[in-house]
Structure formats: C-alpha cells, structure tokens
Structure 1
Amino acid sequence: MSEALDAMAAERAESIRMIRDSAAGIAPRGGDRKRIRALRFQAPGFDRAVWQQVGEQGWIGLHVAEERGGAGLGMSEFCAIAEEMGAALAPEPLVPGALSAALLAAAGAEAPLAKLLAGESYVATAWQEAPGVLEAPGNEGAPRRFLPLAGGADAFLVPVREGGKLALYLQPAGGADLALEKTQDGGFFGTLRPQGGERVLEDAEVALASALDEAALGTAAYLLGIMDQAFTLTLDYLRTRQQFNRPIGSFQALQHRAADLKIQLALSRASVESAAALLDTPGTPQAMRRAAVSRAKARASEAAMLITRQAIQLHGGIGYTDEADIGLYLRKAMVMANQFGPAALHRRRFAAEAREEEA
C-alpha cells in the first residue's frame, strides 16, 4: 500500500514538473520583459494571441472537470502554472479566467465555457461589490469593482441576490456601463454597473464560494512566482555588482538580509503547496480548506511585498528607476497582493475558520 502511494506521489510530482516545463514557451522564467513593458497601460492590458495560447495549453480549464471540457487536474497543478505566470509577470488573466470557468462549468453554460477554455474569449466575474471584499453581492445594479483587465472582457458573470439565493447572470460586454482605471503594474481595473443579461445559474452560492477560494489560492501562487523571481534577480545582482573590488553579496550584512528573504520565500511556498494539497484531498472539512487558503494568501501577500521592496533596496539607486526590471516585480506585487482579499482580511478569516475547526 505504502509503495503504491509513493508511486502515485512520484507520478504526480513528475506531472507537475512537466506542467511547469510547458510554461516556458509562453511564460518563461526570466521572461520577455520587453513584452511586459510594451503592454503596460495599453488596452486591453494583455495579449490576445498569448491568451489564446494559454487556452490551447489547457491552463484556463486545468481545474475544470473533463466532462465539461477541462483537464480535470487539481489545485496543485493549477498553482504550479500560476506560479510560473507570476515569475514571468505574464499579464494574461489566468486566475480570473479560471474563476469564471469554474462558475460557467457549475452553470452548465457549455457555449461560453468552451470559448473561454479555448482562450477565444475572456469572461470576468463581477463579484466584488463596494465596500465589501469576499462578501456576497447584493442588489442588481450595484456597481461591481476591481474587475481585473475588464477592458478586455467579452462578457461578465454577475452574481445577484434574488429571493434568498445568489443567481448568476451572463452579461455581454457590448454596451456595458464600464469604467476603467489604470493600475500600478500597467493594467486596468474595471467598475461595472450591471445591466441584466441571461441568468445561467439559479443558485451560485456554493459554487462562487469554492471558486473564490481557488482564485485566492491561485493568486497566492502567482505572488509566489513574483517573489521567487525577484529574489533570483536580486541574488544575481549581489553576485555581480562590485564594490571595493569585491561582490557586494560577500558583505555579511547583505547576506543576512538575503537569508531572511529566503526564509520568507520558503515559508510562503510551504503554505501555498500545503493549501493546494488540502483542497485536492476529498472530504477535507470546509473550515480547514478556508483556513488553509487564507493562511496561504495572507502570507504570500505580505511576503511578496516584503521581498520585492527589499529587492529594490538591495539593487541600490538603480532599483528605484523605472528602467530597472526589478521595479516591475514590485509594481505587480502591489496590485496582486490585494486581489481576492488583502492580507488583513485573510488573517481575520483564518482566525475565524481556525476557531470553527477547533470547535
């Protein structure tokens, strides 16, 4: 029995490694940062051709059941891809797209789901209603905020509270009342005022809660990729930058700072991977799942901000210029750290869910 389990674990680890390797063609570590710079503040904020490649690779539907057209893989595999996208600073909306794919799959909306999974369209879920974060949306027509790359959306999924249930509407982007605002990383957030649409799911409460947890964990993995690559670039700089005829990485004070950052990176990786494993384990109590996701998201958000800020400082004066690539990682972390809930919110949720689990 033990040998069979070990073999299954080894097979899955190899599968995850192969998935990571497959990202090199679209989102290479070290990245094509010229592409990232060229897309900054240019509508829609991502490359449609690359988005289609993401769909062709099966990444958008990686966690969607095979009978719905997805790959039927777990959160561990999805987090591996999200991490690679983060390391490459890829702006394509993988996590928001996967969130919408999960909801369309739950609704059985085959036609829009197929187009989304193929990367032929981008559907944004307008779940976040001011002023709440991770709270159930309320009245129809209430503005929905912070939609990632909303200017590139072909349709919107809008949860609406109706008769004690949370209905889900699919609204075409054409003619939508949508306002865009630039973000630090060169992308755009949208504010949408819903205008009806087709109801595709009568009660989306459970599906939305599950999909939001997966999106929060996917975002934590994306942040893990950001901080991992920022740390790698910083180590390379410390090894090559010379002062007093020796690499500055040989200075003990800088070595101590780098060691502290490596610890934060390792703790974040352990937290994300353990949360993904919990979500992939059938029968895991809901409170335990939510607590693990919040722990991972809170840690990743704070660690990404710490590591990217320290990376700027360790690069010296040049790190503060826009021409320095290391700044791109800080800007991306500033935007992603608050998506699907900031660290403070997830710390509160972790405390609440951990108490419920112990009760």
Structure 2
Amino acid sequence: MTDIAEIARERDERLQLIRNSAASLVPRDGGLTRVRQQRFAKQAVDRDTWSQVCSMGWPGLCLAEELGGSGLGMAEYVALLEELGQGLLPEPLIEAGLVAPLLPAKEREALLSGELLVLPAGIMFESKEALPSLSDGRLTGTVRHVVLGGAADAWLVACDSGLAMVHRSAEGVDVIEEPTQDGGHLAHLRFRGSPARQIDAPPAALDKAALGCAAYLVGLMDAALERTREYLNVRRQFGRPIGGFQALQHRMVDLKIQVELARAMVSEAARAVDAHESPMEYERLVSTAKVKAAEAAMLVTRQAIQLHGGIGYTDEADIGLFLRRAMVLLNAHGSVSFHKRRYFRLLESEGAL
C-alpha cells in the first residue's frame, strides 16, 4: 500500500512540474498580450518562442528516450496541453509532436532542437481528396488545410506511396495561406513535380494528437469560464455583483459540470493509452473525449460571451479569443462527425450495439 501511495505521489509531483513548466509561455495572470500580437502576423510562428517551446522538450515529451524524447506518457502530455490551452498557445506543438516519431534521425533531431520546423500535410484520420503522387523522387498534387503550413521549413506529406518530405525551398512548391478565426492560417500546398524524399516510418499516432487537442480544449474552456466568473463578480447591477443572481449561478454551475466531464474523459483516455489497453478500447475513449471536449468548448465559450453581455461580442474583449480558438479546433485531428462514427463503429464491433 505504501508503494502505491508513493508512486501516486511521485506521479502527482511530476504532473505538477509539467504544468509549472508552461508558466513561461502561459502567464499566471491570464494575460493574452502575446497571443494578440501574434494574431494574423506575417510570421505565423514566432521562431524565438518556438525555440523556447523546443528548449523545454515539449515536442518530444511523449517520444521515446532512444529517439531523443523525454519518454513520458499521455498523462503528462494532456496535463501540459491543458495548461497551454488556458493561455491559448498559438504554436503548432501538437502538429510537431505528431511528426516527430515519423522523421529520420537527422530531421528529428533538428525538429526537437528548434532548428527545423516540420509540419504534417495530409496526415489525418480521413481525407476526401486524392493524395499527391510520388514518382522518381518528384511529388505532384495538392494538400489542403495544413495547420500553419506557411510557417514550416518542410512538410511531411501523406502521398500515394506513404510519406514524403518536401522542403519549403524546393522548386515547384506553391503555398496559399487562408486566415482562420483565431488569427492563424491553413495553408493549401501545391506540388508541381517538387523534389521529395520518401520516408519509411511507423503509422502516425493520430489518436495521441486527437487526445492532445481535447486536453487543450479543456484548458481553453476552463480559462474562459474562470474569466467569466471574475467578470460576474465585478459587474454590478441593482447595486450588487451580477454573479450573486441565482439564475446566473445556475448557468455557471452547468457550464462547470461540462468542463469537468470533458476533463474526466480526457484523463480516462490518457490512462488507457498509458496502460496499453487494446487499440479498440483506447480509440473508443479518445473519440469520446474529443467529441465531448469539442462540443463542450463550443457551448462554454459561447455562453461565456453571452454572460459578458454586449462587451463580450467586441474584438477588444479577450473572452472572444477563446470562442475563436474553439471554432478552429472543433474539427481538428478528426472531425466531430468522424469521431462519432468511429465510436459507434467500435461499439458495434465489440457487440455492444
């Protein structure tokens, strides 16, 4: 019993250290000055900030130690992402973490050190578009909706023969950036016989990326709700803070329940991954967590804006930034409809339906 208590204590300390490591980029006072400065910036990813992210080992947090990572589990990863979600971290940490285990040693080391920003292009759960074709070391085709793709030094592209690496400086590469609600962008990449290198790699850990996104959304809506609580305790009407009105208190409690339900689902999915449960089991739990976090984040952030009143709808009000980010992440790393379909498909295969 003592050993179990000691293991639990060490785990809690480790998780707290992970959360504390986010303090340099997520101010404890909740300030979003840096996030506002980065919105729609010409340089979509601030390289100085990205160097900080890499120096703390975040892109390789779950990567095996023999591959240059920290070798930690999903519990630590979701704890970090939840903390970063509270501060609306705009950097492509989840995307970099997705490609890190897929890269050859040289490129992986450069990614983890912050020297080379490699982002995934077309590596996703589902795609309705034809994959680019790789022939004789040349890539031809189009990939759409690449998160912050215009900021990358290179892309790891899903193609008809697996994966291919293409550098930004390669000939025949066209990049069109489409702004997103949160101030970032999605890039549309067109390859016209661009020089590319085929990469032999294990299957992408898409479920870890989806769970990381769910954890980020939990942190996002938790911070939005806390800001709303503070506002309700300051805004006065009829001679007293409106936070004392019972109707608003009931709404806040309902929203808090949604946050905690999503947090519990993310934690349970992370536990299943770390416990090496069957793929069918943790895939079902990941889909459950992603759907719940995405839908709850939309509910909480919309309600938070309403509870702020008219000022909540202005661009100057920080509360609006949380809804904008939630809208962008709603269908990231597997759409809500995909995860719902997968959940029911897995239940059917288990004989539960």
Q: Tell me the TM-score range normalised by the shorter chain.
A: over 0.9
1:276 paired with 2:276, answer no
Determine the C-alpha separation between the residues in 1 that align with 2:334 and 2:28. Answer: 26
The count of residues paired between Structure 1 and Structure 2 equals 342
1:1-359 map, 5 Å: 2-104=1-103, 109-127=104-122, 133=126, 138-140=131-133, 141-162=140-161, 167-175=162-170, 176-194=173-191, 195-201=194-200, 204=201, 207-208=203-204, 211-282=205-276, 284-358=277-351
Decide whether the 8 Å contact of 1:128 with 1:145 is kept in 2.
no
Q: How many angstroms does 1:342 deviate by?
A: 2.1
Listed one character per residue, the Cα deviations across residues 273-296 of structure 1 (whole Å, up to 9, x for unaligned) are 1111111112x1111111111001
Q: CA deviation at 1:91?
A: 0.5
3-state SS of paired residue (2:160): strand
Q: What TM-score, normalized to structure 2?
A: 0.92
Please list the CA deviations of residues 207-246 of structure 1 after superposition, one character each: whole Å capped at 9, or x if unmatched.
22xx111111111111111101000000001111100011
After superposition, the Cα gap between the structure-2 partners of 1:124 and 1:92, relative to the gap in structure 1 and judged at 3 Å, is same
Residues 132 and 142, structure 2, Cα contact 8 Å, conserved in 1: no
Q: Distance in 1 between matches of 2:226 and 2:81?
A: 18
Deviation at 1:7, TM superposition (A): 1.9
SS in 2 for 1:207: coil
Cα shift at 1:316? 0.3
Task: Give the aligned residue type for 2:272.
Answer: L
Find the aligned partners of 1:337 and 1:213 in 2 and give their Cα distance: 15
Q: Distance in 2 between matches of 1:148 and 1:27?
A: 21
In the alignment, the residues of structure 2 paired with residue 48 and residue 136 of structure 1 have an alpha-carbon distance, to the nearest angstrom, of 32
Give the root-mean-square deviation of aligned CA atoms: 1.8
CA distance in structure 2 between the aligned counterparts of 1:332 and 1:344, rounded to whole angstroms? 19
Q: Which consecutive unaligned segments of at least 5 residues does structure 2 have?
A: 134-139
Whether the 8 Å contact between 1:213 and 1:290 is mirrored in structure 2 is yes
**1:139 CA drift (Å):** 4.3
Residue type at the aligned position of 2:196: G
Q: 2:123–2:158: 8 Å Cα contact kept in structure 1?
A: no
Supply the distance in 1 between the matched residues of 2:13 and 2:127 (Cα, whole angstroms). Answer: 35
Deviation of 1:3 after TM superposition, in Å, equals 3.1
- 5+ residue gaps, structure 1, are none
CA positional deviation for 1:146: 1.4
Give the TM-score normalised by the residue count of structure 1: 0.91
- Measure how far apart 1:357 and its partner are: 3.2
| Kept in 2: contact 1:127–1:159 (CA 8 A) | yes
Query: Does structure 1 conserve the Cα–Cα contact (< 8 Å) formed by 2:131 and 2:142?
Result: no
Q: Secondary structure at the match of 1:323?
A: coil
Q: Identity, % of aligned pairs? A: 47
Question: Which stretch shifts more, 8-17 or 261-270?
Answer: 8-17
Q: SS in structure 1 opposite 2:187?
A: strand
Contact kept, 8 Å, 1:115 with 1:121, in 2: the verdict is yes
